[in-house]
């Protein structure tokens, strides 16, 4: 058990809630996904909204990644400054950011996501630099996007593309977010197949007019669990760099693929109700939760720190509640007895994207600080 002012990895001290990453596991996750994309003959355009870090972005270059996805214009600016020259903003075009988009599109290969006549008309009237556009398709998730049957809107968008010298149609983009409701490879594969069928029918319909059109899909469960992704032309997973408890519950990853934890000091003990209090709350972990196999609302699972990373998840212990800065760990008798105030516990996050977004930097288990967009 680690107590007091500990030098866990070399001479590093962890003083307060810290987002800790295992760089090797991150690289293995990238490597695996890059290999799968190559095997399926897909463009690998990873989503950088999860890590939002130029330094982590650089790791992807080692796997020949040159094209990336982001979810905001601000992220596109940040990564463009860090020499990413082919960026897709996979979020519905926000007309208020047209000025920045024009500036960016003048410097890099920029692609936008649209899903309405309004979007394309606005673009046609205001875009001065060449942009690629993807038409967002709702393949069953029902968050946003055009229905795959809405040929009339699609035709109308495409006719503007054909006549506009700076707007180039790149393809149909979808996020199969309903895979997050799936459990296990079979359910994910079934959702994937149903969703992909809709995109393929669109591709078949429009390929003659646009021989280069791409089918671009994104979710980490599909990209992790579907063996053959060759029906897609481009994949955009993001979360897989870190994975998390939500992905573990879906079955997208194994425990050893999870490459990030939040290290939190224990600040109080309540043995009478089997609870530890940690310095680590909603402003470090987000309020996302899962319901575990015992029906418990869970904001995180508990691990011990080790020299080379962290332990298995501690049985019978979990993060049961969060307020702004406090976390409540409901714990086993063993954990209670072996823990002192000042010990550092690791929390496996429920949703690593939202937790990572709450930190200005990450720490690797080798003791290196990794900056992200928030410290820029």
Interface mask toward a second copy for 189-218; x: CB under 8 A: ------------------------------
Q: Which of residues 109-138 bind a second copy (CB under 8 A)?
A: 115-116, 118-119, 122
Give yes or no for residue 321 binding a second copy (CB under 8 A).
yes
Closest approach of a second copy to the CB of residue 203, in Å? 22
Measured CA to CA in angstroms, residue 211 lies from 207, 214, 244 at distances of 5, 9, 38
For the bound state, the minimum distance from the C-beta of residue 95 to a second copy, rounded and expressed in Å, comes to: 5
Residue from 46, 237, 265, 309 touching a second copy (CB under 8 A): that is: 265
Binding mask 2-21 for a second copy (x = CB under 8 A): --xx-------xxxx-----
Can residue 173 be called a binding residue for a second copy (CB under 8 A)?
A: no
User: Is residue 72 a contact point for a second copy (CB under 8 A)?
Assistant: yes
267, 274, 336, 371: which one binds a second copy (CB under 8 A): 267
Q: Is 341 in the site for a second copy (CB under 8 A)?
A: yes
Strand 68-70 relative to strand 86-92, pairing: parallel
Q: Which residue among 174, 224, 260, 286 contacts a second copy (CB under 8 A)?
A: 286
What residues line the site for a second copy (CB under 8 A)? Answer: 4-5, 13-16, 49, 71-74, 91-97, 115-116, 118-119, 122, 142-145, 177, 265, 267-270, 273, 277, 279, 282-283, 286-288, 321, 323-326, 328, 340-342, 353-354, 357, 374
């Amino acid at each position: 058990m680690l107590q007091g002012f500990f030098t866990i990895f070399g001479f590093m001290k962890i003083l307060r809630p810290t987002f800790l990453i295992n760089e090797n596991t991150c690289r293995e996750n990238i490597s695996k996904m890059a290999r799968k994309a190559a095997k399926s003959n897909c463009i690998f355009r990873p989503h950088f909204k999860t890590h939002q870090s130029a330094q982590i972005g650089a790791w992807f270059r080692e796997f020949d990644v040159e094209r990336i996805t982001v979810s905001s214009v601000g992220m596109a600016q940040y990564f463009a400054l860090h020499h990413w020259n082919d960026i897709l903003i996979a979020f519905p075009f926000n007309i208020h950011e047209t000025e920045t988009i024009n500036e960016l599109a003048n410097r890099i290969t920029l692609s936008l996501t649209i899903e309405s006549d309004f979007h394309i008309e606005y673009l046609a009237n205001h875009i001065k630099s060449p942009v690629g556009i993807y038409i967002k398709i709702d393949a069953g998730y029902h968050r946003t996007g055009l229905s795959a049957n809405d040929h009339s809107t699609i035709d109308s968008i495409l006719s503007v593309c054909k006549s506009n010298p700076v707007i180039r149609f790149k393809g149909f983009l979808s996020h199969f977010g309903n895979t997050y409701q799936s459990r296990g490879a079979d359910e994910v594969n079934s959702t994937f197949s149903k969703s992909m069928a809709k995109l393929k029918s669109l591709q078949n319909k429009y390929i003659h007019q646009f021989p280069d059109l791409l089918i671009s899909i994104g979710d980490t469960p599909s990209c992790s669990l579907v063996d053959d992704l060759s029906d897609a032309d481009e994949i955009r997973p993001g979360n897989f760099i870190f994975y998390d408890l939500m992905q573990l519950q879906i079955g997208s990853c194994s425990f050893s693929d999870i490459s990030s934890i939040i290290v939190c000091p224990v600040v109080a003990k309540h043995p009478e109700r089997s609870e530890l209090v940690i310095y680590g709350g909603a402003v470090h972990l987000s309020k996302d939760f899962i319901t575990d196999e015992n029906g418990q609302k869970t904001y995180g699972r508990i691990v011990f720190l080790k020299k080379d990373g962290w332990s298995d998840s501690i049985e019978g212990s979990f993060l049961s509640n969060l307020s702004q800065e406090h976390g409540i760990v409901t714990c086993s008798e063993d954990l209670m007895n072996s823990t002192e105030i000042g010990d550092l516990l690791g929390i496996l996050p429920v949703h690593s994207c939202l937790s990572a977004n709450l930190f200005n930097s990450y720490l690797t288990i080798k003791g290196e600080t990794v900056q992200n967009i928030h410290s820029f």
